[in-house]
Amino acid sequence: MMFVIIREAKIDDLPDMLDIYNDAVRTLTATFDIEEQSLEERRGWYQSHSERYPLIVAESDGKVVGYCSLSKYREKKAYIHSVELSIYISKDYRRKGIGTRLMKEIIARAQKLKYHTIISGITGGNGGSQALHEKFGFSYIGCFREVGFKFGKWQDVHFYQLIVDRN
């Protein structure tokens, strides 16, 4: 059985997180980035996270094998209680429960931070991510059709939402 620790991301985790992300850029529609990112670009992304916008990792045998974050949903002040969730798992560690562990932790953090809603955009055809979100009570909200062009074809984005605070 694999031993996995879920913890706060550290700057030293960036190379592993970059490898996971760039693999997704090359092979998946989970991101609409077309070109791989540099360590410097990812450093800026890392610095956009804080106590208010957590970034967590799953670590196994001293290596980051997945990560999850909450980010600003939009810039306007009325959106301050909403966040967007991102989750990426290393190709060698998918379907091993890591996404479930990361999702459980990030939702707990969202509740503690008193967010009202979490939103996720999932590219069409990503059944694994859709199932993970549904497992945690996310509802399908709608689809933006053909909003991204990657791997020679138009991609849809399906939106899922979890109301965290029902008050």
Per-residue pLDDT of the chain (167 residues; tens, 9 = 90+): 679 999 999 999 999 999 999 999 999 999 999 999 999 999 999 999 999 999 999 999 999 999 999 999 999 999 999 999 999 999 999 999 999 999 999 999 999 999 999 999 999 999 999 999 999 999 999 999 999 999 999 999 999 999 997 76
Cα 43 to chain center, whole Å?
17
Q: Which residue has the tokens 């610095």?
A: 47
What are 136's two structure tokens? 């945690």
Region of 37 (left: φ > 0; alpha: ψ -120 to 50; beta: rest) is beta
Element (H, E) at 120: strand 117-123
5-163, which class in CATH?
A: alpha beta
If you write DSSP's letter for every residue of 130-164 in order, what string do you get? HHHHHHTT-EEEEEEEEEEEETTEEEEEEEEEEE-
Quick check: 164 and 115 in contact, CB under 8 A? yes
If you write DSSP's letter for every residue of 74-101 in order, what string do you get? -SSGGGTTEEEEEEEE-GGGTTSSHHHH
